[in-house]
Copies of this chain bind each other. A is one copy, B any other.
Amino acid sequence: MPTYTPPLRDMQFVMHEVLKVSDELKALPPHADVDADTINAVLEEGGKFAAEVAFPINISGDTEGCTLDKTTHAVTTPQGFKEAYAKYVEGGWAALSCDPAYGGQGLPFVVNQCFYEMMNSANQAWTMYPGLSHGAYECLHAHGTEEQKKIYLPKLTSGEWTGTMCLTEPHCGTDLGLLRTKAEPQADGTYRITGAKIFISAGEHDMTSNIVHLVLARLPDAPAGSKGISLFVVPKFKVNADGSLGERNAIYCGGLEHKMGIHGNATAQIVIDGATGTLVGQPHKGLAAMFVMMNAARLGVGNQSLGLTEVAFQNALAYAKDRIQMRSLSGTKAKDKPADPIIVHPDVRKMLLTAKAYAEGARALQCFCAVLLDKELSHPDEKVRKDSGEMLALLTPIVKAFITDNGFEATVMCQQVFGGHGYIKEWGMEQHVRDARINMIYEGTNTIQSLDLLGRKILGNNGASLKKFGKLVGQLVEEEGVNEKMAEFINPIAYLGDQMTKFTTEIGFKGLQNPDEVGAAAVDYLRVAGHLVFGYFFARMAQVALREIAAGNTDPFYGAKLQTARFYFAKLFPETATLMRTARAGSQVLMDTDLALA
């Protein structure tokens, strides 16, 4: 019953009309000849894959889930998952943004980002198998030895094998410094690894002949805490010198979690029982190496919620036009029917527009970040690489937390549009809510993201990164400050930008005296920052739309964009009024509550 149409027009608008992606790519040697037509053609095909292959097995995958054979430790994925993966490999999709040196197509990250948005709309649980795999590829590409790269990268690029990240243990998730898995050096230069991991997404499955686990563990001489963690590659099947599969390694799935959502993905308890692995990067520097992967993963998680927001919106919109119930408050609209379609009701429209605005704001931000990543990786000028990396570091926690919080709110609202039917599995809406919920938790909870933003990224360098983003806002304000038509979009961000600068200084001073003040303000602060960023992109999108309309372009897309931007500033952006107050309310009302929390 649910449907999904890839939002190609909006992607093209963001990439080509707002961000001028092709111009940016021209400056990057590996992507200099990637033009708009190439991007559009790839995404059109990618959208077909998402809608026609991944989407039809989304609800069935949720209903079926994964099963573990406790004797053989084999995991069976839901019906159709394996076949869809074979088509994915066959289509070369795994190689999209991989290094040509290992068989990749070398397309920029921004294209992969848009492709993944569509796959996440279609089927988040399924998409996590290739998604995790791509993370492992990136980590080995950045930190692996030549031999590791030679063995693993071609197979990860082709999709013949998949990869995982094995970080969490039962007693440690956020605080990886507590981890206990051991790695003992062997005479042949390998390591014997022993421990227990949990929450390993795509940890075991029946789609590929091998799985490349990246495992955090401690060497015998490791210092305590997070500075004593090393990274190892531990394949499910050992690999012979000729690249063929050798004997089964002692790393296996000991159990599958029963979860709220993403049922189609095997969330595995991984038992490592003296498995053989090789060291990735330097001893005791494993966490830093893993962070390469985690930063990309955080952008990926925001992208998951963007995907869910979009597909939830599309289906809620279709339902709201179709479902008739009650009459409009302002008089009958559908005279030929016994009731009006529920889209006539103001609050139904508000719920739909909330999802639409959150999707479009997120898409602009995600694409902007993807281009930053491409520039960080490939720009010939070191300063541009550094600046891009800093801006990306600032925006990453906002992408992760703001987009996933919004995505949950939006999927809940889209479910609400369906009334009682929204609670019923067959309609697909409640699954979006359950799937969206994990995105607020994994890859660093949203609270952790807020501390990363305010504590590390902003106060950690005295607001320098924030000023860089503030400069972008300032440029836009200057450009459009005298344009009356832009005032409704420019004034709110100009005002909020000033407020934030002031508040950041305040909280910086308070935090020096009492670090809990930072912790008390951080979550609210991140949402304010998120609205500043979304506000900025909505203003830029409105700017383009107004120009096109002024130039006589009659494509209704531009009018629609203006309506969405107006809605955003009128009904969502004012959340900042409360957030500034509660952020300023300080830590005492939280910390001075030992009686209440006894």
Do B346 and A520 touch across chains, with their CB atoms under 8 A apart?
yes
Residue of B nearest to A446 (CB): B416
Cross-interface CB contact of A346 among B177, B587, B596, cutoff 8 Å = B587
20 further interface pairs, Cβ-Cβ under 8 Å (given A349-B591, A416-B441, A564-B596) = A168-B420, A199-B420, A258-B425, A258-B426, A329-B515, A330-B516, A346-B516, A347-B519, A347-B523, A348-B447, A422-B441, A433-B437, A556-B595, A560-B596, A563-B593, A566-B589, A570-B585, A570-B589, A571-B585, A577-B581
One of A44-52, A202-210, A337-345 contacting the partner: A337-345
Interface string of A564-598 (1 = CB under 8 A from B): 10110011001111100110011101111101111
* Proximity bits, A423-461, B CB within 8 Å = 1, else 0: 111100010011001101110011100100001000000
Q: Is A259 an interface residue when CB atoms closer than 8 A count as contact? A: yes
Chain B residues whose C-beta falls within 8 Å of the C-beta of A596 in the assembled complex: 353, 356, 560-561, 563-564, 567
Distance between Cα atoms of A214 and B445 in the complex (Å): 47
- Give min CB distance, A214 to chain B, whole Å: 18
B582 and A347 contact, CB distance less than 8 A:
no
Residues in chain B near residue A173, CB distance under 8 A:
325, 419-420
A260 at the interface (CB under 8 A from B): yes
A288: shortest Cβ distance to chain B, in Å? 18
Q: How many Å from the CB of A208 to the closest CB on chain B?
A: 25
Q: Does A326 contact B (CB under 8 A)?
A: yes
Q: A516 touching B329 by the CB < 8 A rule? A: yes
| Closest residue on chain B to residue A440 by CB atoms | B416
Say yes or no: is A496 at the interface (Cβ < 8 Å to chain B). no
**A350 CB within 8 Å of chain B:** yes
B430 touches A260 (CB 8 A): yes
> Are B433 and A420 within 8 A (Cβ)?
no
CB distance from A326 to the nearest CB of B (A): 5
The verdict on A377 contacting chain B, using a C-beta distance below 8 Å, is: no
Report whether B425 and A260 are in contact in the complex, using a CB–CB cutoff of 8 Å: yes
Known: A347-B450, A560-B595, A578-B575. A438 touches B423 (CB 8 A): yes
List A518-542 residues whose CB lies under 8 Å from chain B: 518-520, 522-523
Name A311-339 residues within 8 Å CB distance of B.
317, 320, 325-326, 328-330, 338-339
User: Could you say how many copies of this chain the assembly holds?
Assistant: 2
Instruction: Mark each residue of chain A from 540 to 566: 1 if its CB lies under 8 Å from any CB of chain B, else 0.
Output: 000000000000000010011101101
The 3 closest A-B pairs by CB, nearest first: A346-B519, A260-B430, A329-B515
Q: Does A211 contact B (CB under 8 A)?
A: no
* A271 lies within 8 A of chain B by Cβ: no
Question: Known interface pairs A516-B329, A523-B347. Does A423 touch B447 (Cβ–Cβ under 8 Å)?
Answer: no
Residues of A whose CB lies within 8 Å of any CB of B are 63, 168, 172-175, 177-178, 198-199, 257-261, 317, 320, 325-326, 328-330, 338-339, 343, 345-350, 352-353, 356, 408, 412, 415-416, 419-420, 422-426, 430, 433-434, 437-438, 440-442, 445-447, 450, 455, 514-516, 518-520, 522-523, 556, 559-561, 563-564, 566-567, 570-571, 574-578, 581-582, 585-587, 589-593, 595-598
Q: List 14 A-B contacts (CB under 8 A).
A: A258-B426, A259-B430, A260-B430, A260-B433, A260-B434, A343-B597, A346-B519, A347-B523, A353-B596, A412-B437, A422-B441, A556-B595, A560-B596, A563-B589
Q: What B residues does A419 contact at CB under 8 A?
A: 173-174, 441, 445
Q: Give CA–CA (A144, B348) in the complex, Å.
A: 38
Contact A338 B178 (CB under 8 A): yes
With A441-B416, A566-B589, A596-B563 as known contacts, state yes or no: A345 contacts B519, CB within 8 Å.
yes
Tell which of B174, B556, B574 touches A598, judged by Cβ atoms closer than 8 Å: B556
Q: Would A567 and B595 count as touching, CB distance under 8 A? A: no
A442–B425 CA distance with the chains assembled, in angstroms: 16
Cβ A353 vs Cβ B590 within 8 A: yes
Q: Which of B260, B420, B446, B574 is close to A442, meaning CB atoms less than 8 Å apart? A: B420
**In the bound complex, what is the Cα–Cα distance between A560 and B594 (angstroms)?**
8
* A408–B415 alpha-carbon span in the complex (Å): 14
In the assembled complex, the Cα of A419 lies from the Cα of B346 at a distance in Å of: 36
State in angstroms the CA–CA spacing of A177 and B340 once bound together: 13
User: Separation in Å of the A458 CB from the closest CB of chain B?
Assistant: 15
When distances are taken between beta carbons in the complex, the residues of chain B under 8 Å from A325 are 172-175, 178
- Shortest A446–chain B CB gap in Å is 8
B445 touches A416 (CB 8 A): yes
Residues of B within 8 A of A326 (CB): 174-175
Residues of B within 8 A of A589 (CB): 563, 566-567, 570-571
Closest residue of chain B to A198, judged by CB?
B420
A262 to chain B: closest residue by CB: B423
Distance in angstroms from A553 CB to nearest chain B CB is 13
Once bound together, how far apart are the Cα atoms of A312 and B175, in whole Å?
24
Q: Report the bound CA distance from A352 to B581 in whole Å.
A: 20
In angstroms, Cα B356 to Cα A98, docked, is 49
> In the assembled complex, which residues on chain B have CB atoms less than 8 Å from the CB atom of A424?
257-260
A185 to B343 alpha-carbon distance, docked (Å): 39
Cα separation A261 to B349 with both chains bound (whole Å): 26
The docked-state distance in angstroms from the alpha carbon of A437 to that of B411 is 12
List of B residues within 8 angstroms of A455 by Cβ: 329
| Alpha-carbon gap, A339 to B591, bound state (A) | 18
